[in-house]
Amino acid sequence: MIFLNNEVFFIFVQRIDHRLRLTIVQNNLYMKKLLLFVGIFLLTTAGIAQTDVPTFDEQGSAEIDLNKCVTLDNKTEVQNYYVINISHLGLTNENDTWDYFNYISDNLLTYHVFYSEMKVTLQLHLERTDEPKDINWWNAYLETKCDK
């Protein structure tokens, strides 16, 4: 059996205490950094995730056929949003509808599905073209997305 005198035991306890305190301080710094990162991430993505889509009445009208050809109403000026009736496409659930429109989405086109109303909103990202484009250019661009 080994007996430690009080002085050796006291030094041993001090070293353990010092190491524990360092570990606790390091863990606190790590947690603060992690919380800061998560907070910044949530703040930056909250603004990106929210898209204010106007009501259907405030949007232009467009049509889609069975070949995924979207045609904008060419009797009006180009708008940012167009409502499309999808009831004739025979899509049976919301997930299939999202898949259907994600297939024809890209950097210039974003689709917002409103399955319960059998409508989709097409968002044209007008700011992403080099120069302003007219309705004929957009219809020609949409034609390139068709299944032929």
DSSP secondary structure of 112-134: EEEGGGTEEEEEE-GGGSSS---
Q: pLDDT per residue over 69-99, tens digit each?
A: 999 998 989 999 999 999 999 999 999 999 9
Confidence tier at 49 by pLDDT (50, 70, 90):
very low
Confidence tier at 55 by pLDDT (50, 70, 90):
confident
Interval 111-137 mean pLDDT: 95
Whole-number Å distance between alpha carbons of 74 and 141 = 14
Whole-prediction pTM = 0.64
CA distances from 29 to 40, 43, 105 (A): 17, 21, 43
Contact by Cβ (8 Å): 84, 62: yes
Confidence tier at 107 by pLDDT (50, 70, 90):
very high
The ranges assigned to domains in the chain are 1-50, 56-143
Q: By percentage, how much of the chain surpasses pLDDT 90? A: 49
Place of tokens 């059998």: 118
Whole-number Å distance between alpha carbons of 96 and 79 = 27
Q: Does pLDDT of 63 surpass 70?
A: yes
Place of tokens 């968002």: 123
Please give the residue that has the higher pLDDT: either 103 or 72: 72
Whole-number Å distance between alpha carbons of 95 and 98 = 5
DSSP 62: E
pLDDT for residue 57: 80
Other Cβ atoms within 10 Å of 24 Cβ, number:
10
pLDDT for residue 47: 46
